[in-house]
Structure 1
C-alpha cells in the first residue's frame, strides 16, 4: 500500500475512533434530538446560513465515516429546516457523504482487491459496467440494505464514479423524503419504528425491484421493436434451425438434439465445413507427410540411411483425401440423423426472424421449402480473404480452399502472408520439395506473437530453405515472357548521407509457378438474408455476450461471429449459442473467453494461452517472465528435437499464471497442462509438486516451475536456515 493510501486510511480510522472515544455519537440519538429541537430551531432562526452549513458538514462527515446516526440526522433535517429545505440538505449531504465513502474505498482498496481477486471478479466487473446503475438503484431504493455497506462495496467495483453519485442521489431521494417528512412531526415519534412500518418497507422492496422490472420491460420493448413488421407464427416446426455444418453448426445441432429439442441443420456444401474439408484436417495431414519426408532426409545423421528421398505428390494428396474420408463419418448426415437432427442440404435464406427457406436440388429440380423455428443460429463460417490485386485474374492462384485440388507439386511456390496458415503451408511445401518464397508486408512473421517467439520460428524456417521476404508489400501480378511475377514494394531502412535513418522503398520482382494467398479469412455474412432482414454486421455478425444478434432469437457463433477464428473456439461458442437459443429467457449464459489456447502447427510448434508478453506490455500489466530452454530437456535431446523454450508469465512475486508461450516439439500438447491450470486457478507451485513421467517432454512444464521457484526463493529465510544448519553442525 502506498504512503498516500496508508495516510488516508489512518486519518479515517482516527476520526472514526475519535467519534466513539469522545462519545460524539451520543448526539446522534432520537432522545437528544427531541430534547435539543427547540434550541436548534431557535439557532436556525437566529443564524440560518451558519446552522444550515454546519448541519450539512456534520451530515456529510457522519455519512462519509459510516457512523451510525444518519437516520437521526435525516429526521433532524426535517425537524429543524422543514420539509423543503430539510429534504434539499439531507438529499445532497447523504449523497455527498456516500460519494466520499465510495471514493475512499476505491482509492485505498480498489486496486488491491482487483489485483488479488481480479480474475474471479471479471464477471462482476462486466456486469457492473453493463448494468451497474440498475443494480445500485435497486439497492438504494430498499432500506433493508445498510447504505454504508453499499458505499464501500461499490467502491471496490468498476462502476463509474459519476454513475455512483447520480444513482445514489436519485435512489435515496424517496427514502430520505420519508424520514425528513417524519422529522417535521418529531414530537409524535417515540421510536424509529413509528417512522417506517412493515407495509412501507414492503412498498420500498417492491420499489427496489422496479429497476429490474424496468429492465425486463425495456428488453420486452426492444424485442417488440426488433420484430416490428413481422408476424410471429402461432406454432413452430422447430425449436432451432442451424445454418452451416462446420464446427460451430455441428456442435450447436448436437447439443440441441441431446436436450431433445427439434432441430434442423442446413448445409449447402459439405458436412464438416472448412475444418474437415479444407482447413484443420487436410492441413495437418499434409504437415504430417511433409514431416515424414523431412525426417527421412535427415535420418542419416542418426545412422539411418534411406537413400534419395522422392515425393509422389499425387499420392500425398490422395493420403490427405484419405484422412478426410476416414474422419467424414464423424460429421456425416447419417450420424447426425441418428442423433435426432433433421439435416437439410441446400441453400438457406432467412426470410423472417422465425422462418428459413431451404432451396435444394432434388433429382435435377430446384425445390424450396419454408421452415418455422423459435430460434436460429448462424454458423456460416468464413472464407479465404483474397484482395483485389491488379493482375490476379491472370494468375492461377491458390487459397486454403482450392489448394487441395493440386495434383502436381509446384516447383516454385509463392506464399503471400506471414500468419499461421502461411507459415504452416510454407514449411509443408518446402519439405515436400517446392522452393517456397514467403512474402510478408510487416517487419516480421506472426505479428501477434512475441518477438523472441517469432525469432525462434523464423530461424528454423530459414534454415530449411524458405526464402522469407519481410517488409515486402504485394502490389500487382504481371506476366514476363510467359512467366508469372509478383511486383512487391520492398521497404528498406538505409542510412542516408546525412546519417539520419530514412525508410526507402523499391519495387522488386519475384517469379513463381504457383501463388498461395494466405492473408487471413473473412466471415460469410452475405447471401442468406441477413442484409434484407436487418441483422447488424460489422465485418462479422454483431453479437452480444449471449451471442445474440439485434434480433433476440437469432444467434451467431464460430468464425462468422468472431472474435477468434479457431475451431475449438467455434465449438466453445456453439454451446453458449445453442443453450441460450433454447432456454432464453428462463436461463442464459454469457460466453467466457478467459482462457483461450491457440497453436500454430509448424515445426517447432508455437502454442499460447493467456497473455503474450507484448500483450501484457500493451495493457501495462505487471508481470514476471520465467523461461526454460527445451534444449536442456533429456527427452528432447533423445528425440533430436532439442529446440525451443517454455516461457511463463506470472504476477510479480506470485505463482499465478498470466500467460504461457511454448515454442518446441509437441508444444500444443504441452500447453494443455497450462490451460487446465489457468482455468482452475492452479499455480506453478502445484505444477512443480506434480510428478511428471521421465523422460517426457511434459517435464519441461515442471522444470520451468522450478526455475520460477528458484527465482522467487525466500532469501532471508534461507539465510536463517543456513545458520540453523551451521548451528546443528557445531
Structure 2
C-alpha cells in the first residue's frame, strides 16, 4: 500500500469495483479496500442478484416440468434443496473467478487491501494500522437488510437475503415478511420448488412502487400458483419459534405457523466503523450520508456510490445497475476540469426489473414524476391478448403501459416518456423501449422497422400501430385519401 493515491474506493461491490477499475484503466493510481476477499463482489455477487437469479432459474425449470404433465409427461419426487443451493453457489464461484483480490491485483493492476478502513483525517484512511491518503475517496459500503423488531423475534431463526441461500432443506412452510421485489422473487421461487409460501405485507398491495394494475395482475398470477397473501397487516409478535401473530391496523390478530422466516422489509446502513466525523462527513436524520446532486459528501474530497448513496437528492434505487449509473456520473465528473461541466445524478432514464414470472419492467419517467413536473402526457395501454407470440406461448394476460408525448397532427413523431411491461421476459422486451427514450426515437421509427415474425418484441411495434390508427387526425385521413 502506497502513502498516497489519486483515488481510494472503500467497498468492493458493484460501485467500488466499477469506479476503481474505471479510474485505473484511465491511468490513475487507485486503491480498492474491502473487509475480506469473500465479500468482493458485494451483495450482488454474494447475497443478491447472482444467487437469487440462479435460484429463480432452477425453480422455473421445476415449474415448467410440472406444467408439461397435461401433454403426457409425469414428474415425481421432491426438490432437493441442497442440490439446488449447490448449483447456486457454483454459479457464484464462476463469477468470483474475476471478482477477487488476486485477480484484481494481477489482471487489473489494482492495489487491493483487505480489512476495516476508517478515516483519520479529511483525506486520510487507516487500514491494518497503516495510514494512506488520496485526492478523492469514494464510499461504496453498500447497505444491509433492515431488521424486524417485534416481541419474541429473539426466539426465531431469521433469514434475510444474506443467509437464505445457506438453507439445505426445503421448508414446508415459508413465511415472508415484506411484499417488495425480494419477497416476491423468493416467494415464487420457493413456492415453485414445493414450499407453501405465505406473504405478509404492510401495504394493501405487492410491489407498491409499481402501477396498481401491474401489482394486481402479478399478485393474481402468484396467487394462482398457491402463494397465500396477507396484506395490510403487520407482524405484532412471535408467540414461539414457529408462530407469528399478525394483524391489520384495527383488526383481529391471527396466528400464522411457519418453519422458516424470511424478512425482506427494506435496507438500512451502518457507517460506524468508518469514523466519518474525523473526515467531516455528516449524516441526515435517517442515518444516510448527506450528499449533493453530484454524489459529494459534506467533505469535498469524499463521494458515495451504490447503496451508500441513498441520501442523494435524486433519491435512491437499490439496484446493482444504479451503482453503475453512479459510477459513470462520478467518473465523468472526476475527470471534468470544471464543476460547471459536471453532471448531476438523475434517474430520468433509469429502469428496473422484478424477476418474477411474469417479469415486471419499469423504465423512464414514472407517472408520478410526470405529474409532479407538470409534463403533458398520454397513457397508452396495450393488451397482449391479440399478440401472436403471446397466444402461442400462453401469456395473453400480459400488458404494456406507456406514457408518451401528447399525440399531435403527426402521431408518427410521438416519443416515449416512460412505461411498464408485465410479461414473461419483460426485462428483455423493454430494452428497445429504453433505448428509444434515451435516443429520442419516435413512433415512426418503430412503425418503419420490420420485425421477424413471430418475435416477442413485435409488440413494441404493434402498440404503435394501434395507437397511431386510433389517433390519426381526420384532416390527415382526408389528405391521404385525396393523395391516393
Query: Do these two structures clear the TM 0.5 threshold for a shared fold by scoring above it?
Result: yes
SS class of match (2:120): strand
Deviation string 1:141-162 (CA, Å, 9 cap, x unpaired) is xxxxxxxxxxxxxxxxxxxxxx
The one of 358, 368, 379 equivalent to 2:127 is: 358
Q: Residue 262 of structure 2 corresponds to which residue in structure 1? A: 516
CA contact (8 A) 1:555 1:581 kept: no
Q: Does 1:331 align with 2:99?
A: yes
Where is the helix percentage greater, Structure 1 or Structure 2?
Answer: 1
Q: Is the alpha carbon distance of 1:474 and 1:620 closer, same or farther for their aligned partners in structure 2, counting shifts above 3 Å?
A: farther
Q: Residue 402 of structure 1 corresponds to which residue in structure 2? A: 163
Paired with 1:489 and 1:723, the residues of 2 have a C-alpha distance of 68
**Aligned residue pairs, count:** 467
Paired with 1:420 and 1:251, the residues of 2 have a C-alpha distance of 24
CA contact (8 A) 2:9 2:138 kept: yes
Q: Residue 32 of structure 2 corresponds to which residue in structure 1? A: 265
Paired with 1:618 and 1:263, the residues of 2 have a C-alpha distance of 41
Deviation string 1:41-93 (CA, Å, 9 cap, x unpaired) is xxxxxxxxxxxxxxxxxxxxxxxxxxxxxxxxxxxxxxxxxxxxxxxxxxxxx
Paired with 1:600 and 1:237, the residues of 2 have a C-alpha distance of 42
Q: Residue 313 of structure 2 corresponds to which residue in structure 1? A: none
Q: Is the alpha carbon distance of 1:638 and 1:287 closer, same or farther for their aligned partners in structure 2, counting shifts above 3 Å?
A: same
The one of 524, 527, 550 equivalent to 2:298 is: 550
CA contact (8 A) 2:121 2:278 kept: no
SS class of match (1:698): helix
SS class of match (1:571): helix
**RMSD (CA atoms):** 1.9
Give ranges in structure 1 of 5+ residues lacking alignment: 1-234, 360-367, 492-503, 726-730
Q: Residue 341 of structure 1 corresponds to which residue in structure 2? A: 110
Deviation string 1:249-282 (CA, Å, 9 cap, x unpaired) is 0000011111111101001031100000000000
Q: Residue 15 of structure 2 corresponds to which residue in structure 1? A: 248
Q: CA deviation at 1:680?
A: 1.4
Q: Does 1:599 align with 2:345?
A: no
Structure 1, 587-596 or 335-344: larger mean CA deviation: 587-596
Q: Is the alpha carbon distance of 1:238 and 1:485 closer, same or farther for their aligned partners in structure 2, counting shifts above 3 Å?
A: same
Matches within 5 A, 1:466-477: 466-477=227-238
Q: Residue 383 of structure 2 corresponds to which residue in structure 1? A: 629
Deviation string 1:678-700 (CA, Å, 9 cap, x unpaired) is 11111222122222221111111
Q: Does 1:650 align with 2:404?
A: yes
CA contact (8 A) 2:3 2:131 kept: no
Q: Does 1:684 align with 2:452?
A: no
SS class of match (1:506): coil
Q: CA deviation at 1:304?
A: 4.7
SS class of match (2:281): coil
CA contact (8 A) 1:545 1:590 kept: yes
CA contact (8 A) 2:279 2:299 kept: no
Q: CA deviation at 1:488?
A: 1.5
The one of 629, 632, 639 equivalent to 2:393 is: 639
Q: Quick check: which has more Rg, 1 or 2?
A: 1
Q: Residue 571 of structure 1 corresponds to which residue in structure 2? A: 324
Q: Is the alpha carbon distance of 1:600 and 1:239 closer, same or farther for their aligned partners in structure 2, counting shifts above 3 Å?
A: same
Paired with 2:463 and 2:294, the residues of 1 have a C-alpha distance of 38
Q: Does 1:421 align with 2:179?
A: no
Higher relative contact order (CA 8 A, sep 6+): 2
Structure 1, 260-269 or 637-646: larger mean CA deviation: 637-646
Q: Residue 485 of structure 1 corresponds to which residue in structure 2? A: 243
Q: Residue 319 of structure 1 corresponds to which residue in structure 2? A: 87
Q: CA deviation at 1:533?
A: 3.1
Paired with 1:674 and 1:717, the residues of 2 have a C-alpha distance of 27
Give ranges in structure 2 of 5+ residues lacking alignment: 311-315, 409-413
CA contact (8 A) 2:123 2:279 kept: no
SS class of match (2:251): strand
CA contact (8 A) 1:608 1:661 kept: yes
Give the TM-score, by structure 2 length: 0.92
Q: Residue 560 of structure 1 corresponds to which residue in structure 2? A: 308
Paired with 2:125 and 2:449, the residues of 1 have a C-alpha distance of 53
Paired with 2:283 and 2:51, the residues of 1 have a C-alpha distance of 31
Paired with 1:642 and 1:309, the residues of 2 have a C-alpha distance of 31
Paired with 1:238 and 1:614, the residues of 2 have a C-alpha distance of 43
Give the TM-score, by structure 1 length: 0.62
Q: Does 1:665 align with 2:424?
A: yes
